[in-house]
Structure 1
Amino acid sequence: MTRVLHILDHSLPLHSGYTFRTRAILKSLQAAGCNVQAVTGQRHSADGPDIEEIDGLIFHRTPGTPSGPPVAREMREVAMLRKTIETVASQWRPDIIHAHSPALCGMAAMKAARSLGVPMVYEIRAFWEDAAVGNGTGSEGSAKYRLTRALENRVVKRADAVFTICEGLRSDLAMRGHDAGKIGLSPNGVDLSLFGEPPPRDNGLAARLGLGSGPVIGFIGSFYDYEGLDDLIDAMPALRDRHPDARLLLVGGGPREGALRAQAKASPAADAIIFTGRVPHDEVDRYYSVIDVLSYPRKKSRLTDLVTPLKPLEAMAQRRIVAASDVGGHRELIEDGVTGQLFPPDDPGEIAKSLASLIDRREEWDTMREAGRDHVAAHHDWGRNVARYREIYQALVEAAAPKRTGIEQA
């Protein structure tokens, strides 16, 4: 049984797209016969023991919190994470070390893997310098941006194998001069075993929220600038001209929440825009049930063109109607008019027109729901996706067998 030690920025019990993808990967690998454990770095902020079992998964925590001036702080993080990896590896003896972005995790894993004589896989879920620009914590071309990019290039070059979550990221790495032959795809996916028939509409919740008869356009997730929720709010007056009973339901929170609430309050469609704030994870399905169209109006940027989001796949897995902006990350997931609908990004007028047209064609919705679910089952089911990992793991273990001396001699 192949033993794989995963290196993570953070994990469960924290809730994020990052932790949910991690859970799906680890549980699917377990089901496929792999033995998995994980190590998190100092940015895992949840309180808990040094070794924690959650949902049948074992996580080892790196002690301490990041501190010190920039660059020196990150190098200390790498050193502490490397130390934890080597301690765990000396006891558990993994066959593979599989690090997940950001590059700080990759750098620590690379150093540990080389000292232990273990093959190392690096997986990129997003370029974190672009994510920082997208969420307003960084600027393109800054010293930090360039340093993060250079660090990632170094890890990619030295890793034994690399995965990206989408073609956009893989193509970008190839254009930088990296060996495309060692870069595989591990697309965003869902555990379809978690999704049965979608629950019926929660009429009590709909009444409490004041949704009326609808149609209800909704978004469930984090409120970052790149998500384009301001454009969705600006689209509501024109949508209401076509469909006077339309409502917009925004579920979640984040850095843009205050600005979005103020914008909605000043809108001519203010009475039709409802914010719920953050809701418990185990209640999210209730909110999905009262939404007719899940809308993802991401703004066009380097981040959104290169990275595929998880939320549209989760919605399609639940047989929900999906409408999203026509950016590269969405085009990899959604076939316009077949599995969902695409609209021009950054244009509230066109968003309103597209959503109104979609609502007018309700007779097509059942076919679109089934097409979306079928697409997820065929291309984004973790039960199938983990075969990509296992193939690479096996090849790396076989290639490393004659060379492995690090752990055996420890």
Structure 2
Amino acid sequence: MTQKEVGMDVVAITAPFQAATSNFDIIDGIKYYRSKFNEKDTISDKRKSLGSRILRLFSIFSFYNEIKKIIIIEKPNVLHAHAMFFCGIPALLLAKKYKVPFVYEVRSLWMLKKEKKKTSKISDLIERLLFKTECFVMKKANQVVVINENLKQVIVNSGVPSDKIVLINNAVNTTLINKLKDIDAVKERDEVRFGYIGTLTPHEGIDMLIEAFNIFNLKHPKSRLIIFGCGIEEERISQLAQGNNKIDFKGKIDPNEVYKAFNAIDIIVNPRYKNKLTDSVTPLKPLEAMAYSKLVIGSDVGGIKELVKHEKNGFLFSSGSVKELVKTMEYVVNLDLKRVKEVKVGALNYVQNQKSWLNNASIYHKNYQNLINE
């Protein structure tokens, strides 16, 4: 939507295994071509069998043909593919065929282990092969877009030339949030509400957040923890939440009603555990929380440290430490109103000036023009 605001004509092609209700949609004036997909085999965090993953590879050929048909119709000046290589390889081949620039966007090294546990030699081999495949696509691309410095450094260390890498940070739609955050405006409450909004996976650390809140709540009974989200940890988190009636597990929330979740919470907590993935991926939810004028607490993993500057636009604690999280929660709830306002204003200014979709759209537009001219 913001890309159209800066003068770009955008056409989107959704990847296979992404559920859709039609083959073609127009949303906010943008054309969306829907690829063929298998409803029983959609994108998810659940680990799939080796056989299932091998079978998926064969769909690259049909996806290549789908993209080719759309290129003939739309005649794009630039092909921009989002990792993983499943999208990257067909786009790379077609960019060469039709002699247009190819941009590859990498927002995470998705294949890297997310948990500190031993894996089989086969799993380690698959991880290395997938990583090398991603690096191959990046090396062949005209330009590689990454979302933070940590991710850029990992990619450069893997042999991708730094001069073809462009850093475009995660951003949020501040225009839309400004409209929504006044709806159902938060009223005075007699309790402080901590919350988490997002995907429920092991590396997000929601189990640790629940443990920390249980300790905090004993000393501060006028407090509540509200958890919104779904994922492979959903059942486990739901069970952990049942041990305290001051913890509300809300489950999945409609994306169009996320503003209601933010309006129900005072302090957003992102307690990610430290691993290769969390050190290289910057989450969106802290930025959205800042845009909604919420206080933010995050663990000091690489991806969060790039967004949250301690005491300036949020607060950091040592990742994996329940004790430090409880300490940080207590510190934040004891801040005076003047200090709370300073941090909220600092966070809001940071998002509006540096992390908005409109800023990013302008950067993309300039990059595309440079590639076309070259």
For 2:215 and 2:198, how far apart are their aligned partners in 1? 24
2-structure distance, mates of 1:306, 1:296: 15
Partner Cα separation in structure 1 for residue 257 and residue 365 of structure 2: 34
- Paired letter, 2:353: A
Structure 2 contact 271–299 (Cα < 8 Å) conserved: yes
Q: Would you say 1:328 and 2:302 are equivalent positions?
A: yes
CA 1:30 to 1:231, structure 2 compared with 1: closer, same or farther past 3 Å?
Answer: same
1:147 partnered with 2:122: no
1:351 positional shift: 0.6
Task: Report the identity percentage.
Answer: 29
State yes or no: 1:374 paired with 2:349. Answer: yes
User: Is the CA contact (8 Å cut-off) linking 2:79 and 2:91 kept in structure 1?
Assistant: yes
Q: Does 1:294 align with 2:268?
A: yes
Report matched runs for 1:208-357 at 5 Å.
213-266=190-243, 270-357=244-331
Seen in structure 2, the aligned counterparts of structure 1 residues 39 and 237 have a Cα distance that, compared at 3 Å, is closer
- Please say if residues 306 and 328 of structure 1, whose CA atoms lie closer than 8 Å, have aligned partners that are also in contact: yes
1:227–1:362 Cα change, 3 Å:
farther
Deviates more, 1:34-43 or 1:59-68: 59-68
- The two structures, once aligned, show a CA RMSD in angstroms of 2.3
Q: 2 CA distance for matches of 1:273 and 1:397?
A: 53
CA distance in 2, matches of 1:139, 1:38: 38
- Is 2:362 aligned against 1:393? no
Match of 1:63 in 2: 36
Counterparts of 1:196 and 1:91, CA distance in 2? 37
Structure 2: how far apart are the matches of 1:262 and 1:51? 40
CA contact (8 A) 2:114 2:203 kept: no
Contact 2:241 2:249 (8 Å CA) reproduced:
no
**Residue pairs, 1:67-216, within 5 angstroms:** 69=51, 72-130=54-112, 133=114, 142-196=124-178, 198-199=181-182, 201-202=185-186, 213-216=190-193
Question: In structure 1, how many angstroms separate the alpha carbons of the residues matched to 2:129 and 2:59?
Answer: 16
Q: CA deviation at 1:221?
A: 1.4
Q: Please state how far the C-alpha of 1:355 moved relative to its aligned partner.
A: 0.4
Cα distance in structure 2, aligned partners of 1:392 and 1:134: 36
Give the direction of change, closer, same or farther, for the CA distance of 1:71–1:260 in structure 2 (3 Å limit): closer
Mapped to 2, the partners of 1:139 and 1:127 lie a distance apart of 20
Residue matched to 2:47: none
Cα pair distance change 1:60/1:275, threshold 3 Å:
same
Counterpart AA for 2:242:
K
TM-score, normalising length: structure 1 = 0.82
1:44 paired to 2:18: yes
Give, in angstroms, the shift of residue 372 of structure 1. 0.2
Q: Distance in 1 between matches of 2:18 and 2:317?
A: 37
Asked whether the equivalents of residues 145 and 166 of structure 2 are also in contact (C-alpha less than 8 Å), the reply is: yes
Taking the aligned partners of 2:318 and 2:336, their CA distance within structure 1 comes to 21
Deviation at 1:202, TM superposition (A): 5.0
Count the aligned residue pairs.
Answer: 360
Report the alpha carbon displacement of residue 383 of structure 1 after superposing the two structures with TM: 0.9
Offset at residue 64 of structure 1 (A)? 4.7
1:28 is matched with which residue? 2
Check the 8 A contact 2:17/2:37 in 1, yes or no: no
How far off is 1:329 after superposition? 0.5
**C-alpha deviation, 1:134, in angstroms:** 5.5
Deviations 1:31-74 (A, max 9, x none): 111111011222112221x2221232111122254799456534
Deviation digits for residues 296-350 of structure 1 (CA, Å, limit 9, x no counterpart) = 1011111111110000001101111111111110110011011000011111121
Listed as ranges, the gaps of 5+ residues in structure 2 are: 43-49
1:289 Cα shift? 1.5
1:19 aligned residue: none
Scaled by the length of structure 2, the TM-score of the pair is 0.90
Letter in 1 for 2:27: I
TM-superposition CA deviations, 1:86-114 (whole Å, max 9, x none): 11111211110011111211111001111
The residue type paired with residue 143 of structure 1 is: L
Gaps of 5+ in 1: 1-26, 207-211, 400-410
CA contact 1:164–1:184 (8 Å) conserved in 2: yes
